[in-house]
Amino acid sequence: MISFSTFMELLHYFNHQNLRKQQLLCLKMHRVKLAIVHNTIAPYRHPLFEALSQDLDLMVYYCSVRHSSREWDLWPRNYDYKYKILPRIPFKTSLGSNSLNPSIITELVLDKPHVIMLSSYTDPTTWLALAVAKLLKIPLIYWTEGIKEPESILGIITKPIRSLFAITSDACLAQGNRTKEYLESLGVDNASIFIAHNCVDNELLIDWSQQFKKKKNLLRKQLNFHEKHLVLFVGQLIPRKGVFDLMRIYEKVVQKRRETGLIVLGSGPLKSQLLSIVSKNKLINVHFVESGISLSELVKYYSIVDLLVLPTLFDLAPLVLNEAMACGLPIVVYNAAGNAYELVIPGVNGEVIETGDVEIFSEAIVRIISDEKLRKKMSKESIRIITSVSSVDSTTTGFLKAIEYVLKK
């Protein structure tokens, strides 16, 4: 027999679960119309948008086709969701290339969405969408990855705009806990903030990597990598990504483990300087691979190395962590990455290092590559963590919770 109090707790739990199911069913039955205004086409968003379109009448408005500084690969399959690429007036600012898409006004007025979601504050098009939402009294959700105030004059100047988007929205979607704390610092009510981690198609990457790992040694030979251990860096070759720290870290690693190789997968203006550093310091086994390769090729590199390193000096939520973990890699990362502590558990699936501490960073690499048993354990943990913390399903749930919240308001 169970006690009366236990019975009531169980009853409350099942009532809560039934209510949750009814709310989701209500969303499906009424086909809530959600309009997302997104700055550019980012293929890693396709799985999420397709999942959302299963529960909602979704329309994504893209301000541009491609960001000038990105080399996104076309995704390996077509995803089924509605979108429009808005006619644009391109212009440049100190923040980079930007777009003005006046037609967003007509689109939103005619479409009459039940909820509008904005994914940026830097595009003037999102300012127009915000104005439409307020004039037509359409619930508004602000979707952001921000983790702190930019430490610059421009950051001070643009703070009122960030605050305006955050505070005037009916709810906010945060990519993680650090973003949630940042939104609270701007004055956003805790109850109106919902977590929706950046995500990738974990199932696809896990499946591909498992296939590649079956012929790992053959692939290494075909790609001309003959070192016993391989460490991988993926990112733009720019100062913010910590590429100079990367060279210093690797120099310390090969002093202790000469059988180690470093693969630098990326493009950028610092490549010639990095090549000079390699030559001047006589660094051995450093392989530069141009970015822009297909997703399947990228997964191939994740599958043949032992470890991913990311000594980034500042990153909001680098998806390279998601991708590498889905492929079963241990991670060593600076704590400047906004999603570092949520995806990497120190000692479990990698290490999170204080930004700038190249000595401790190099020691962590040596420790992991020297212990095969530890690497295998961390590999399994990376897959477990990424599938439980940051999946398309969990991110979709975060979106639906935010939408339910603003509609109730």
For residue range 44-87, list pLDDT tens digits in order.
899 999 999 999 999 999 998 865 545 445 555 667 899 999 99
Q: What pLDDT score was predicted for residue 245? A: 98
Query: Residue 58's closest CA among 76, 46, 44, 42?
Result: 46
Q: Are 380 and 146 in contact (CB under 8 A)?
A: no
Q: What pLDDT score was predicted for residue 153? A: 73
Q: Which CATH class is domain 202-389?
A: alpha beta
d(CA 242, CA 200): 24
Q: What pLDDT score was predicted for residue 294? A: 86
**Region of poorest pLDDT, from 141-145, 152-156, 366-370, 376-380:** 152-156
Q: Residue 177 pLDDT > 50, yes or no?
A: yes
Q: Are 322 and 200 in contact (CB under 8 A)?
A: yes
Q: What pLDDT score was predicted for residue 15? A: 46
What is the domain partition of the chain in residue ranges? 31-199+391-408, 202-389
Return the ∠ at Cα 341 (arms to 336 and 343), rounded to 5°.
115
Residue 219: φ, ψ to 5°: -65, -40
Q: Are 320 and 344 in contact (CB under 8 A)?
A: no
For residue range 309-340, list pLDDT tens digits in order.
999 999 999 999 999 999 999 999 999 999 99
Q: Are 65 and 41 in contact (CB under 8 A)?
A: yes
Averaged pLDDT for residues 181-207: 96
* CA distance to 138, 142, 172, 336, 382, per residue, from 165 (Å): 14, 7, 9, 24, 35
CATH topology of domain 31-199+391-408: Rossmann fold (3.40.50)
For residue range 87-123, list pLDDT tens digits in order.
999 887 665 677 899 999 999 999 999 999 999 888 8
| Whole-prediction pTM | 0.87
Q: Indicate the pairing of strand 171-174 with strand 350-353.
A: unpaired
Query: Residue 250's closest CA among 238, 239, 264, 262?
Result: 262
